């Protein structure tokens, strides 16, 4: 779901940065409003690294295996830190592995980070009717991740089909959209289930990790 360098025109790359800046500013503003924001920086940073590493876990989906994006889970656990964390993760992926890109960093942050922020709001709804239970945590964890991946996949597909410098006819374009969309549906459910399992696990083992977000 990472758009690489060289695929999108400059205007779209610049628009991605222009959209990422206010979201980053908003997230940092919200982080600064919590007690001592620097206290949470090491936690957010190490969890960012942990999410980065956890995305290396391969889930077997015969005949192949997939690795997860985990943006929904990041939203659930990191709250307002999710967008900066994803921005940093994407930056490190671009400079260390050439995955994604520097010119498309803003666009990729919007594609993955924006829905992660939305996932954090969805996950917060689990405590709407008093204390969060295992069931409500699992359900809202699933929904948060399902929505995050679904929206990311939709944004990725729309951007790629509309802005790739190629003359695709309407029929090919429709097929490409359908194929990309269908390809992401199993991933949405796998990510949702994975987030549900992990959030319930965290609720049992370290519940403060979920309440702090």
Which CB, 32 or 121, lies closer to other proteins? 32
The smaller minimum CB distance to other proteins, of residues 92 and 181, is found at 92
Query: Smallest distance from the beta carbon of 53 to other proteins, in angstroms?
Result: 5
Q: Are 191 and 70 in contact (CB under 8 A)?
A: yes
Surface-to-core class of residue 176, CB atoms within 10 Å of its CB (0-12 exposed, 13-18 middle, 19+ buried)? middle
Rounded CA separation 160/107 (Å) = 11
Contact present, 116 and 71 (Cβ < 8 Å): yes
Nearest distance from C-beta of residue 46 to other proteins, angstroms? 4
Residue 55 vs 133, nearer CB to other proteins: 55
Joined together, the tokens standing for residue 84 give 């900066």
Terminus-to-terminus CA distance in the chain, angstroms? 25
Give 31 or 151: the residue with its C-beta nearer to other proteins: 31
Rounded to a whole number of angstroms, the minimum distance from the CB of residue 129 to other proteins is: 25
Between 64 and 131, CB nearer to other proteins: 64
CB of residue 4 to other proteins, shortest distance in Å: 5
| 61 φ/ψ angles, rounded to the nearest 5 degrees | -130, 90
C-alpha span between 124 and 103 (Å, rounded): 33
Tell me the closest approach of the beta carbon of residue 130 to other proteins, in angstroms: 24
């Amino acid at each position: 779901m990472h758009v690489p360098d060289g695929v999108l025109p400059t205007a779209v790359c610049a628009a991605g940065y222009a959209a990422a800046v206010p979201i980053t500013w908003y997230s940092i503003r919200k982080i600064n409003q919590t007690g001592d924001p620097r206290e949470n920086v090491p936690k957010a940073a190490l969890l960012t690294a942990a999410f980065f590493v956890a995305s290396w876990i391969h889930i077997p989906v015969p005949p192949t295996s997939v690795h997860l994006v985990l943006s929904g889970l990041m939203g659930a656990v990191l709250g307002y830190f999710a967008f900066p964390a994803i921005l940093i993760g994407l930056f490190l992926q671009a400079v260390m592995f050439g995955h994604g890109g520097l010119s498309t960093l803003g666009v990729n942050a919007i594609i993955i980070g924006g829905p992660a922020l939305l996932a954090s709001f969805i996950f917060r709804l689990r405590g709407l009717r008093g204390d969060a239970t295992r069931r409500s945590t699992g359900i809202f964890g699933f929904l948060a991740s399902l929505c995050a991946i679904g929206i990311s996949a939709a944004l990725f597909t729309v951007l790629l089909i509309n802005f790739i410098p190629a003359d695709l006819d309407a029929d090919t374009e429709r097929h490409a959209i359908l194929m990309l969309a269908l390809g992401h549906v199993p991933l949405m459910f796998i990510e949702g289930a994975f987030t549900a399992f992990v959030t319930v696990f965290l609720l049992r083992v370290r519940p403060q990790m979920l309440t702090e977000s």
